[in-house]
Amino acid sequence: MSFTSLQFAIFVPIVFLAYYVYPQRTWQISVLVASSIYFYASDNVQLLPVLAVAVLATYVAIRLAAQGNFAGAALGIAVNLALLGFFKYKFLFVDPKQWAAGGDPLLSYLMLLPLPIGISFFVFHNISAIADYFKLEDRRELSGLLELNLYILFFPQLVAGPITRARSFFPQIETKKIADVQLMQVTKLLILGYFMKLFVANNLNEFTIWMSPETMGRLGGGDRILMIFLYSAQIYADFFGYSTIALGLALLFGYRLPVNFRLPYLSSSFSEFWTRWHISLSTWLRNYLYIPLGGNRGAPWQTYVNLLIVMGLGGLWHGASVNYLCWGLVHGVLLAIERAMGMNQPAAKVSFRIIYIVFRTAVVFVAVSFAWLLFRFVHFEDMIRYVSGMSNLSLSCFSSEIYLGAVLCALPVVLQHLLQGKFRNSKIQPFLYGGMLALAIFARGPDTTFIYFRF
């Protein structure tokens, strides 16, 4: 069930009413868990057992972890990683046709099950729960199976995050009253999220869909460069839109989730970019991978290796494909070079500081945008074909009004970054949100799946 479907528009009010009709902790958790299971099963009923295995393994592991049992915690993490590895990365090593042909029926069935939506996200949730409980000082805080289910399955964050740390989520599990609902903030978050997805991302997809092996032949060099920046805006609007809707939905039920984006294209360094883009993932990787690996506490070369490992694995987390690995490694290399040159710190003592920062911001934006090509094209030869066609700068593919349409679609992303929340407390806010709602309803682009759903 997608956030943009009619089914979901009916589902949420029903859950909302059931949730607040009886303000009692266990009832409310049960309503959210049951509705989250329904939410997931509506598209993936055959994959519910996978989710059940993950939850149960995590539950057993956190009971053991909370007793300081390292082996139990490690086993729980291993089971979760095994699930992720089996479903996401098995076809890196085996041929699916071979399993479709015959062999053991159960194994064939398992091998041919589709990738569970959101597996990358809920596996990271589970690992966070186990790791945080392992460090727990007060054993009385240990939550029950129902609470753990809520943490893992909570439908606003189930399929594409934000990845919430257990230590940030569990303290919020308490009785919620309808009078405490932050109605205006929820409304704003939902409108902003749907606007970014339906108007910006879906309309931009109309243009960037031409960045495909079949259609790129029609694009001139200028078109190709323009498409890269449009894709940058699209992928941001798509994921920012999803994350903002998730924040609004969670707040509707009284939960605060982590903010996933803080105007990432304003970053003047690559390290800053990763504190502004997909913050919940980068925070997770930092806390549960980079720091345990040694972080930047060792020699410089060890830090660089750690960066490459973390970013490479972060890339692979997005998909079982070499292009994602390379995308992560490219960012790892950029981070390492930047650190080696001492440019990961803010520019403080430079003349013409503003010009210098603008220049650095532009460099980071262009590099990040071009790196998205590795995200867009699964095969290197397609990406090389795309880049090699940039030798001329002609805008030859479409008529001028189409380009104007493209700019109009991307404009909200540009304005959001440039204005930096200047209208946050302005009196024109109701009109802005009314306009965004109107555009989201009447000018929405053709329906497309959220890009991060496939991870």
Q: Catalytic site residues?
A: 318
User: Residue 354's CB: how many other CB atoms inside 10 A?
Assistant: 9
Contact 268, 347 (CB under 8 A): yes
Q: Which CB atom, from 169 or from 450, has the smaller least distance to other proteins?
A: 169
Q: Which of 123, 252, 409, 451 binds other proteins (CB under 8 A)?
A: 409
Q: How far is the CB of 87 from other proteins (least distance, A)?
A: 28
The answer to whether residue 287 forms part of the interface with other proteins (CB under 8 A) is no
User: Residue 399's CB: how many other CB atoms inside 10 A?
Assistant: 9
Determine the 3-state secondary structure of 267 from DSSP. coil
Closest CA to 137 of 32, 33, 66: 66
Stretches 90-98, 227-235, 264-272, 425-433: which one binds other proteins (CB under 8 A)?
425-433
Q: How far is the CB of 412 from other proteins (least distance, A)?
A: 12
Q: How far is CA 110 from CA 51, 96, 291, in A?
A: 14, 11, 35
Question: What is the 8-class DSSP label of residue 138?
Answer: -
Largest CA distance in the chain: 70
Cα distance between residue 336 and residue 332, in whole Å? 6
Q: Which CB atom, from 207 or from 365, has the smaller least distance to other proteins?
A: 207
Q: Which of residues 71-100 bind other proteins (CB under 8 A)?
A: none
Stretches 73-81, 105-113, 375-383, 436-444: which one binds other proteins (CB under 8 A)?
436-444
Cα distance between residue 448 and residue 202, in whole Å? 6
Q: How far is the CB of 273 from other proteins (least distance, A)?
A: 16
Q: Which CB atom, from 280 or from 303, has the smaller least distance to other proteins?
A: 280
The answer to whether residue 437 forms part of the interface with other proteins (CB under 8 A) is yes
Q: HSE-up of 317 (CA within 13 Å, CB side)?
A: 24
**Omega into 213 within 30° of 0, i.e. cis?**
no
Cα distance between residue 91 and residue 386, in whole Å? 27
Q: Which of 46, 396, 426, 449 binds other proteins (CB under 8 A)?
A: 396
Determine the 3-state secondary structure of 202 from DSSP. helix
Binding letters toward other proteins, positions 169-208, x by CB under 8 A: -xx----------xxxx-x---x-------x---x-xxx-
Report residue 255 as tokens: 């939960």
The answer to whether residue 138 forms part of the interface with other proteins (CB under 8 A) is yes
Helices 119-134 and 70-89: crossing angle in degrees, nearest 10, is: 170
Q: Which of 166, 211, 235, 329 binds other proteins (CB under 8 A)?
A: 166
The answer to whether residue 210 forms part of the interface with other proteins (CB under 8 A) is yes
Cα distance between residue 452 and residue 238, in whole Å? 8
Q: How far is the CB of 343 from other proteins (least distance, A)?
A: 25
Binding letters toward other proteins, positions 237-276, x by CB under 8 A: ----------x---x----xxxx-----------------
Residues at the interface with other proteins (CB under 8 A): 132, 135-138, 141, 165-168, 170-171, 182-185, 187, 191, 199, 203, 205-207, 209-210, 217-218, 247, 251, 256-259, 279-280, 283, 396-402, 404-405, 408-409, 429-431, 433-435, 437-439, 441-443, 445-446
